[in-house]
Structure formats: C-alpha cells, structure tokens
Structure 1
Amino acid sequence: MAIGSAAFAVVLAIAAAAAESPAPAAPIGLADCNTSCGGVSVPYPFGFGPPRCYWPGFNLTCDRSSGQLLLGDGTLRVAEISLRNATVRVVRSGSIIDSASITSDRNVSFGGSFMNHGYMLSNGNELVLSGCNLVATLVEDLGVGPGRSGIISGCASFCSFRNKKVDSVGQTGAGSKYCSGMACCQAPINYHSSPTQVRLRWLDAGNHSEALTFLPTYVFVAEEGWFDQRPLPDELLSVKQSPPRAALEVPLVLLWGVRQGLPSLPNLPANATTACSADADRVLCKSDHSVCAAGNLGYTCQCQQGYDGNPYLAHGCQG
C-alpha cells in the first residue's frame, strides 16, 4: 500500500510539473529561416535570405555590415513589423524638402521608395511644415488623366516679422499639437493613401529673403506624434541650434497586403475590407484559428479573438 501511495505521489508530481511548463512559443517564421535582423523580429510572410523564407514580394534585406533591416531599395530602414495591424514602421533619413534658399515653388517626388514595393502610406502619419508664409500639400495621382492629382493633406504656416523672437513660435495649439500655424503647422493624413509628391508654395509674391532668414524651411511626412516629442521641435525651429536635418531619423507607418499568388481582389471602395474567398483563405491563412480579409492593397490574415501569433503559419495562432 505504501508503494502504491509513493507511485501515486510521483505521478502527481510529474503531472504538476507538466502543467507548470510553459507552452512552446508560437512560430513566427518558416523552419530553418532567420526571423530577426538588427533587433527587429521578421515574421512570415516577411523574410530575407532564400526565397522559400518569404512570400513573393515580401523579401527584405538584412544588411549584416550595418545591422539594419532594409525595405525595397534600401532607403528605408525597417523598425517594426505588425501582423495584427498589417503595418510596417520604417525610418527614413532627413526631410523631404529642406533648404535655406527656396526662392520659388517646389514639387518634390515622394512615395516611390515604398509604393514601388507594394506599400501604402497609413493614416497614422501627418504632414509637418516649418517656414514663413508657405503652404505645403501632399498629393496623389488620381489616375483619371495626365496631370490630375488630388490633395491628401495640406497646411499653411505664417510669420509676423514684427516679432523677431524666434523662440515665440511653435506654441502648442488645439489638440496638443506643437504647431498651430504660426511659423509651423501640422496636418493629419485622414486616409490610407498612395502619395506621389509634396508641393511647397509661397503665399506671397516678391522677395522672400526675410522669411528665409527668420526660420528654416522644411517639410516632413512622419508618424503622428513624432514631431510633438520635445525637445525635437524646439531644436528644429531654432535657427541657431537647429541640428542637421539630413541626419534626422524620421519614422513612417506603412500598410501592406498580400497579392501575389492569390485570386484577383474584389472591387472595393477606398479603405474598405471584406471577407476573403475560400481559395484565398485556404492558400494564405494557414492557422486553424485565423480569419482572412480582402482590401484594396491585398489580403491579410488575423488570429481569431482569444488567439495570438502568426496566422500565416500552420499552428501559428495559439490561445
């Protein structure tokens, strides 16, 4: 009887130990594929290295010499990949427009570094302008004829040269934004978009030398909230202390979706989503506990409520 009790105690101890053992971590990539570069996790369908490690079109570059994960042509550094939000947070260097001698209107290309690789600009970004008596607009090609473009976002920045104190600009405005339109402005990007240009226009004619010496002129498109982090805006709006803007690391949030190797996407209104076809769901969303959605940019998968992990992998969503 004593032997039986001892054996029973051993069984209970083993069962308790098994219950306390942590479940194996959900996979984030395919077998024998690297899933980290430069401290950034790289979940499938993204990947680098052999083509079998990523879905077509989702290849990234892991630059071992710099320790950076790069997107597309290498001008954008990947900082974070989110499967849940279908976003990639990237970092670009410098402003889009930056000059102390802008004497005429400017049109500068913007968006090719990510749109040429199948990404869109998320509405989690904003347009930032610094300068005197200028208006900046972010525009997209409407695709309805040559020269037809639409405005995604825009704002105007004014200066009163009666007040020569540069440190008086950039007062926090409505909604806790740093800029309210005097010497700098910030404008939301209200919908996911495919921008092609940033345009800068003078609001007044004539000599702009006073405006150019009063404040630096630049335009950013950046992740919303980035510009509000002090002391960054104070330094950028200071003529004497302004850091080299070419060295600034500016974050952007991009959207992605899977298209290659899947059925044609349904015709949907902008930014709308719908349920996937059975074929797309079967091919793309490999986890038993996943759901598939179709949008203008492509197909995406999500883990069902109560589950977490990678829905693009078998057994990837775990509860």
Structure 2
Amino acid sequence: MHLPIVLVVLIIMMASLGKASAHELPQYCETSCGNVSITFPFGSGPGCYYSDEFRVTCNRSHSDGPTLLLRASNIVITNLSISTGEIEVTSYVAHDCYDSNGLRDENTSNDPSFTLMYFQVSTKNRFVAIGCNADANILGSRGDESYGTGCISVCDNTSSITNGSCSGIGCCEVKIPEGIGAFNLSVSNFFNHTSDVLDFNPCSHAFVVNQEYNYFNFSSTNLQNFQSIKEMPMLLDWAIGNETCEIASQDTKNFLCKGNSECIEEYAGPGYRCRCKQGYAGNPYLKDNCTNINECQLEGIDVCLHKCEDTIGNYTCSCPRGYSGDGRKYGSGCTVKQSFVIMISICTSVAGLFLLLLFTWIYLGLKRHKNLILREKFFKQNGGIMLQQRISGVGGSQIQAKLYTVEELEKATNNYDQSRIIGKGGYGTVFKGILPDDKIVAIKQSRIADQTQTQTQVDQFINEVLILSQINHRNVVKLIGCCLETEVPSLVYEFIPNGTLFDHIHNECKSKAITWDIRLRIATETAGALSYLHFAASVPIIHRDVKPMNILIDSCYAAKVADFGASKLIPMDQNELATMVQGTLGYLDPEYFHTGQLTEKSDVYSFGVVLVELLTGKKIVDFSKPEKERHLTKSFIASLENGILLEVLDENLQLKEVPHDIVLVSRLAQRCLHVKGDERPTMKEVALELEGISALMIDRHPWVKSTSNEEATEYLLNGPSEDSEDTDDADTSPNAFFSIICMPKITPMTGRRYR
C-alpha cells in the first residue's frame, strides 16, 4: 500500500474518533482534571469529545496544580456544567498603573483579548471598571457585527465611595449583550494621576466577571490593591452544532438527544442542548445514560403522605385504608372514603351520645351545687349581710326595691352584650335592659378591679343602695331593684332615654336644641333634687360627685340626678364629716380638697360649676389651652366682674346682649363658687333663687312685663310662685330671696361693663 493512501486512511479514522457519537465513548476517557469534572460532550482524548470545539487538555505541570484548558489554549476552565449548558473560565484583567511620579507604567496590560469560535459570552457576566478616573471599554464581535461599550468611574477620595455599589463612584459596570464570541478590553485614565490620588488609587482596572453568584463585590480597598489580580471568573454558553432541534434530529446518527433525553432550545444562541426527561437523571448527551430516579429513596424528599412506590420515570403514592386520592404530598392528597366516614360517624355518635348524657348529668348536678355555694358566697362578698345590718342601724327602714336573680338580669341584657352598654363611670358600667314585662331599665354593674379595692367598692355599692332606697323625688333617678348573687353586683334603675346633661351641653347638634329656658329648668330641677337630699331626706345625704355626667335627661328634658356611689350620709347631729377626698377634677370643692372635711357646701360648689357649664357650653378643664385659661370657672368669674360676660356665654344661646335672668344666674354661680364654704348659699337657697328666676321668665304672669326690677322683687316677697313648692323642702320665707333683694339694679348688657 502506498504511503499517501495510508495517511488518508489514518486522517479519516482520527476524524471519526474526534467526532464520536453518543454510542461510542471509550472507557479510557479522563473524567476529571484537578477539581474540575470532565463530562461528555467535553473530553481530552480521541473519541472522548463530540467535536473539536469541545476538546479540553489537562495541564498537570501547571504551578497551581492540574489545570483544565480549552482546546490546548491558555483559557483555563474552572467548572463544566451539562445541566445549564455553561462553562466557567478565567478571563484576563486589564490594568493601567502609574508610578510614584505620576508616570504611566508601560509594563501594565491594558488591552487583553479573548477569542472564541464556538462559544458565546454569557449575559450573566458584567463588564466592570475600577478607578477614580478610569475610562474602560470593551470591543467585541457578534458574528459579522461589531460591538462596543464602556463606562467611566470617578471619585475624589474613598469617603465618597459606597462599598458594594458599582454606580460610577470608584466602580462602574455594564451588561454584556447576547451573542458575543470575542472581545478586547482597554482601560485608561482621562486625568493624570497626582500624588494625592496615587496614595489610594495607583491603577485603573477593567474585566469581565460572572456576577451570578456575586463573585465580585466592590470595596474601596480595591482601588489600592487590585493590580495583583490577574484573572476573574467568566461564564461561557455552549450548545451542540448550529442547527435547531427540529433540523438536528433528522440526522439520527449524530443527533445526541436519544433514549430518555429530550432536545431543548431555551437560550438565544445557535445549536441545541439535551436534557434528561422528568423522572430521569444522568448525562443526556450519552445514549441510555439518563436513568430512572427512585423518588421514594431520595434523601430529604417526602413526596407521599402514606406509602411511595417507584415507577419508570415517575412514582405513585397510596393512601391508608379508608382513604382515597393520589396520596401525593403536593397533589390532591388523601381524603376519607364516604363509607368509612359513615361507619366511623355512627360509632363515634353512639359513644359520644352516651358520654354526653353521662357528663351532662354529672355536670348539671355539680353546677347546681356549685351555683348554690357561689350565690351564697357572692351574696356575702357583695355586702348582703352588711346591707342588712346597716338597714337595721338607720331606723329600721326597709328596701322597697326588688331582688333580681342572675338569670333575670342576664336575659334582660342579652348576657351583658357590649352593644347594650349605655354608659361607663368611675364606679361601674351601665347596660340597657328589657325585663320580661317589656319594661326598659338601666342596669348598673359595679366595677371590681382587684382584691385590694374590693372592700372599698363593696362599701360604695351598699352605700348607693341605702341612699337610693330612702329617696323618693321626681328629679332623682329611681332605684327599681338590685342583684347580689354574682361576683359583680348590679343595681336596676329606671331607664332615662335622653342621655346625660354632659352630652346635651357638649354635643354640637344637641346643644342647639336646649334653649336657655330648658337649661334654666334643668338647673332648677337639679338644685331642687340636691336641696331635697340635704334637707328633706330622713338622713341628710351629700352627693359628693355633682357634674353633668351624673345628671340624666329624660325625653321631656327633665333632670334626673344619678350615680350615688360616692355619696355620704350625714348624721343629724353633725354639720361636717371627715372623709377621704373623692370627686372629679374641676368640680371638686377646693375647701374639701384641702381640709378633708365634707359638708353640704361641697355639693353647692360642684353645682356652681355645673351652672357655669350650662351658661358657657364649654368644658370646665381644658389642658389644650394656656395655663391661665385651662380652668373655665376662673375666666367666667373674671368676665362677670369685668362686665364682659357675653364673651364667655354659649354661642348656641344666640345672644346679642345679656338678659337680666342670665346675669342673676351668673351671680348665683359666682356665690356658689366662693372658696370658703361659709360664704356659699345653701342648696335650699340656691333652689329657691333659681325658682324665683324661673318665675320671672313666665310671660303669663303680669308682673313679668313690669319695667322695674324692684317691682318683680316685691312680687316675689309678697307671693312666691307655685313652682317653688315642687319639693318637700320648699321654703317661702322672704329670707330665701335675700340675694335677689340685695342685687343692684342691672340693665341688659351688650358686652359693656356694668356695675
């Protein structure tokens, strides 16, 4: 045989081995080089790689140890991946450095190149430049097209740099477009390096780097010591050939995606890639290398709810007995069969019914016994025995109120539903209740916060029962009954439907509806009720918490004094009583506050504050105002003394000048607010004076039309009005009107001073 013919045959044989199909992978092929695995279609020996572009060489004499090179070039491969179709290689870094004199170092490399024929630079890479006046560029090619881009990085000092950010200050970056197969890097400085810059930035640098796993994270220290870095990791995309899956699959001999692998085109470059089908794992480029995965035995994977059975390319799950479904943890799961449910339900129902009857019988018996013990305990705890003793100790008076059971009050309030709450105070919560006879009542549930206050609050509760049981006045809220059988005792009152005086004064809509006539009548009725408590009750009673919140208004705008939780009974032989100071800020008698001596004049002071509130329509204490204006009573008295009363009166009264009767009420309020109790009128005098002022306003009396105030006073002295006899404590003595007689002649005012 001639020599040329032998050479031709050898060349043909070598070519056939260099492009081995998936059927013919020799056993002697290297599988690793250093820490890098070598997997077909890559290989290093004849027949071990698919085509020449996938040929690799293992340099075992490299100073850093065995190094895998692409096609015997200087391109170092650091990782091969057949699942993603990528290889990680090292790319050069371009440097442009200056010496201590600010002169460029000609030995630095500022234009490294990277050339590939069958691979493309992955878009997961970034082109990065580092430096304080760096001008970096990348020039590349995409087939027959050229590509170029770059970025500029500037900075004056390291303090302006943000670590981890490549936004242009000390570091800049741009994306790599698709399809780049070759490129050149260049970097230069657009300003000469001066000594102050050289201290922290002697060089500028440019490189392409894989940023998928944050291989590079910029730091200000890179400006000074990055010149020692020669290479950076970069990703390359690869695929088989240049044809699509559809065209390549027609060549059945050389098409690699066979057996349990499938062809995919999920990237922008030319050629095709192979992938094992779902349920299989292995190298999809080798025939029959994609083998079945046993999902049931994979560590850390719990795919079934009950039992798992592996199948070819998949798995099946089964459910326990009595359940149906696919049994998969992330599928429809397992559900109970209807027949099984019925059987279990019947057995459970029979057993449950028996146990229910047994436990119900035991529970009801124990509950009945426990309730009897609890009711007796609560009756004693809530002062039932104390109430009986105190009733017998005040002259044998009997409580006329009804004792209600727990069930009656729970039914009346719908188990004390929150929607039934109509008010809350310092001594309890008030619910709206409906009794079996459809009578609407107000049920006050006493407030017991903790054991340290229990005895005090029980005393207040019993005190309120005792006081209300002795009061029979049309302007005092009526006690209907009480309940002592629960942990929290309750009182049952008549229901007053129109809210509190506080609501009517300070609610903008309601305040317009209560004219001065109505306000005066409310004040008169309230004064009459307090006068009754002080002088007509069998044992004098001091309310101790007179304020608009404790004055209820019915549908006819009649006043009802309520909330006697803080009230005190005053023995007949005593004029004052030493007690712990108790009341509401703004309404509290200052003399009582400082001395602790409670007298009937304490209620007079509080009522004077109520009069001021009725006249002005403002809150007594307002901390949002300056300190001098926070207390309304002070500014009210000052306006009265300075003749500018009109300025503080309620705007809803719509007054252009101050009527004579308002001046009289204002003067009365002033006397009630004297600091010394001895200088205040009694509640009886206040009530009678208000009745006299009310009588002056009744147009049907002929003396109202008199132009002389003295004539009106004379009429009052000779014959008081019938309205002054509404209560048992009415007094027709001329002395009752002493304050009116002593008043100087007062003319209506329009904001001017008067005397």
**TM-score, scaled to structure 2:** 0.31
Which structure ranks higher in relative contact order (CA pairs < 8 Å, sequence separation ≥ 6)?
1
The answer to whether structure 1 residue 317 and structure 2 residue 290 are counterparts is yes
1:162-173 superposed matches below 5 A: 164=157, 166=158, 168=159, 170-172=161-163
Check 1:46–1:95 CA distance in 2 against 1; reply closer, same or farther (3 A cut): same
State whether residues 122 and 255 of structure 1, in contact with CA within 8 Å, keep that contact through their aligned partners in structure 2: yes
- Shift of residue 71, structure 1, vs aligned partner: 1.6
**Partner SS, residue 165 of structure 2:** coil
Q: In 2, Cα distance between the equivalents of 1:142 and 1:86?
A: 19
* Cα shift readout 1:112-137 (whole Å, capped 9, x = no counterpart): 2xx14x22111111111111233323
**Counterpart in the other structure of 1:252:** 234
Judging by fraction of residues, say which structure has more strand. 1
Q: In 1, Cα distance between the equivalents of 2:227 and 2:134?
A: 21
**Counterpart in the other structure of 1:68:** 67
1:1-319 superposed matches below 5 A: 30-49=26-45, 51-57=46-52, 58-65=54-61, 66-92=65-91, 95-100=93-98, 102=104, 108-112=111-115, 115-116=116-117, 118-141=118-141, 149-151=146-148, 153-160=149-156, 164=157, 166=158, 168=159, 170-172=161-163, 177-200=164-187, 202-203=189-190, 207-209=192-194, 213=198, 214-215=200-201, 216-224=203-211, 225-228=214-217, 233-237=219-223, 239=224, 242=225, 244-246=227-229, 248-259=230-241, 265=242, 275-280=246-251, 283-293=254-264, 296-319=269-292
Q: In 1, Cα distance between the equivalents of 2:182 and 2:160?
A: 29
- Shift of residue 80, structure 1, vs aligned partner: 1.1
* Cα shift readout 1:284-303 (whole Å, capped 9, x = no counterpart): 32541112246644332222
State whether residues 44 and 53 of structure 1, in contact with CA within 8 Å, keep that contact through their aligned partners in structure 2: yes
Q: In 1, Cα distance between the equivalents of 2:42 and 2:124?
A: 21
Q: In 2, Cα distance between the equivalents of 1:211 and 1:189?
A: 34
Q: In 2, Cα distance between the equivalents of 1:211 and 1:188?
A: 32
State whether residues 102 and 212 of structure 1, in contact with CA within 8 Å, keep that contact through their aligned partners in structure 2: no
Judging by fraction of residues, say which structure has more helix. 2
Q: CA RMSD in A?
A: 3.2
**Partner SS, residue 287 of structure 2:** coil
- Shift of residue 98, structure 1, vs aligned partner: 4.0
- Shift of residue 217, structure 1, vs aligned partner: 0.7
Q: In 2, Cα distance between the equivalents of 1:150 and 1:211?
A: 36
**Partner SS, residue 42 of structure 2:** coil
**Counterpart in the other structure of 1:270:** none
State whether residues 136 and 154 of structure 1, in contact with CA within 8 Å, keep that contact through their aligned partners in structure 2: yes
- Shift of residue 170, structure 1, vs aligned partner: 4.0
- Shift of residue 37, structure 1, vs aligned partner: 1.3
Amino acid at match of 2:138: L
Check 1:143–1:193 CA distance in 2 against 1; reply closer, same or farther (3 A cut): closer
Larger radius of gyration: 2
Q: In 1, Cα distance between the equivalents of 2:142 and 2:226?
A: 37
Amino acid at match of 2:228: R
Amino acid at match of 1:222: V
| Number of positions where the alignment pairs a residue of Structure 1 with one of Structure 2 | 253
Check 1:98–1:61 CA distance in 2 against 1; reply closer, same or farther (3 A cut): farther
Q: Which blocks of at least 5 consecutive residues in structure 1 are unaligned? A: 1-28, 260-264, 267-272
Q: In 2, Cα distance between the equivalents of 1:244 and 1:137?
A: 18
- Shift of residue 60, structure 1, vs aligned partner: 0.7
State whether residues 275 and 293 of structure 1, in contact with CA within 8 Å, keep that contact through their aligned partners in structure 2: no
Q: In 2, Cα distance between the equivalents of 1:34 and 1:142?
A: 33
**Partner SS, residue 208 of structure 2:** strand
**TM-score, scaled to structure 1:** 0.68
- Shift of residue 141, structure 1, vs aligned partner: 3.1
